[in-house]
Amino acid sequence: MALLNEHFLKLKAGYLFPEIARRVRAFCEAHPDVAPRLIRCGIGDVTEPLPPAAIAAMHRAVDELAARETFHGYGPEQGYEWLRATIAEHDFRARGCEVADDEIFVSDGTKCDMGNILDIFGAKNKIAIPDPVYPVYVDTNVMAGHTGPANAAGAYAGLVYLPCRPANGFVPEPPKRHVDLIYLCSPNNPTGAVATREQLEAWVRYALEHRAVILFDAAYEAYIRDPALPHSIYEIPGARECAIEFRSFSKNGGFTGVRCAYAVVPKTVNGHTRAGVAHPLHPLWLRRMTTKFNGVSYITQRGAEALYTPEGKAQVRALIEHYMGNATVLREGLQKAGLRVFGGVNAPYLWVKTPRGLSSWDAFDKILREANVVVTPGAGFGARGEGYFRLSAFNSRANAEEVARRLQAMRW
């Protein structure tokens, strides 16, 4: 008899996106005449084609693999040196952050990294997770057996939920109690909030005091436009002693289907044995990656490298400006409709308060029925997402403008 990992059985069934798909399918079957009018503003996937610089670099890389003299087989598990050096230089050292080339670990995605990182942490940590947030942090901890069962509201026993609400600008403050592992996501999915320098300083202070580790998800870093906002947690003194940062090429270079990301594990971040002995996490993550991973494809890494060339940078900037132009169109449309909108300024997501106390699923159904637009119900991101819905700026401009028109025409 093969025993299974029973922690999987604690996961809440009917996860967000399958439920959205089910409701959309039912609506389209009942109303085949309006189905072609449907506009999806729900899923957090990019819509625009890849930057030409990345395309050209990947074509060249394929040609290299076609000749014996330039062929590449297995590369280093943690990424090619030329890509790690480019990342460390452009994303960190150029911004005044001390990060060494060999502290960069190239991977096939931040989603994967954030799940895999739990391999190097013990099972008895107190884990703090913002609410609402990207559901991967909670679910990977459930799978790893770090929680008890979920209650009726979907909150798992043993996790410390950090409430994100209008009063704190949707950026959680450090808890009064002790925790060991802290998830932060800035710019935030789903709320679009970005942590200020002061807010990150408070977290770094807390982490150093509690010997905690911060897992900092900066997948949307490229969307920050306000020059006062930090792009990396390593802009905060002390972060090199307590934080691991995660970045992805999914939302800047549009690599959601290509798959490339990286984690920064400074050699100065320690974990502790149960006896209280400090041990650096860097060699553990290196060992984990070299044992369980065989590297991102050569082609993909050449594509990622090309995003740092002058042409690549300009093309990424144009992509971001396109999506942020959509965010502005949507934001103004929602405001004209009289709705209370957060985010959409330094992030490609708008977080919208449902009017008249509508539940987030009721708002979802109403918008689907009356505007034929698919949004994401806030409750899918955590109990405190109830009463909100998320609108994504990943779309064509024409679609964003049409969505803004339709939301204004609705009877709220």
Ligand X SMILES: *Cc1c(COP(=O)(O)O)cnc(C)c1O
Q: Which residues bind ligand X (CB under 6 A)?
A: 44, 109-112, 134, 185, 189, 217, 219, 248, 250-251, 256, 261
Q: Which is nearer to ligand X, 222 or 341 (CB)?
A: 222
Q: Which is nearer to ligand X, 192 or 372 (CB)?
A: 192
Encoding tokens for residue 318? 């144009």
Residue 350: C-alpha distances to residues 36, 142, 185, 302, 345 (Å): 25, 28, 15, 33, 9
Encoding tokens for residue 232? 């990396």
Minimum separation from the CB atom of position 303 to ligand X (A):
14
Identify the three-state secondary structure at position 33. coil
Hunting for tokens 């959409």 — which residue is that? Answer: 344
d(CA 232, CA 95): 9
DSSP 167: G
Q: Which is nearer to ligand X, 140 or 372 (CB)?
A: 140
Q: Please report, as a single letter, which amino acid is at residue 332.
A: E
d(CA 137, CA 236): 23
Q: Which is nearer to ligand X, 262 or 372 (CB)?
A: 262
Minimum separation from the CB atom of position 323 to ligand X (A):
13
Minimum separation from the CB atom of position 193 to ligand X (A):
12
C-alpha dihedral sign at 165, 171, 175, 179? positive
Minimum separation from the CB atom of position 360 to ligand X (A):
18
Q: Which is nearer to ligand X, 136 or 358 (CB)?
A: 136
Burial level of 76, CB count in 10 A (0-12/13-18/19+)?
middle
Q: Which is nearer to ligand X, 248 or 360 (CB)?
A: 248
| Listed residue (361, 403, 298, 332) closest to 47, CA to CA | 403
Minimum separation from the CB atom of position 112 to ligand X (A):
6
Do residues 320 and 224 make contact, with C-beta atoms less than 8 angstroms apart? Answer: no
Q: Which is nearer to ligand X, 371 or 379 (CB)?
A: 379
Minimum separation from the CB atom of position 52 to ligand X (A):
21
Encoding tokens for residue 46? 């990019």
Minimum separation from the CB atom of position 205 to ligand X (A):
24
Q: Which is nearer to ligand X, 112 or 337 (CB)?
A: 112
- The residues near 312 (Cβ < 8 Å, ≥ 6 apart) are 51, 53, 54, 253, 306
DSSP 92: I
Minimum separation from the CB atom of position 30 to ligand X (A):
31
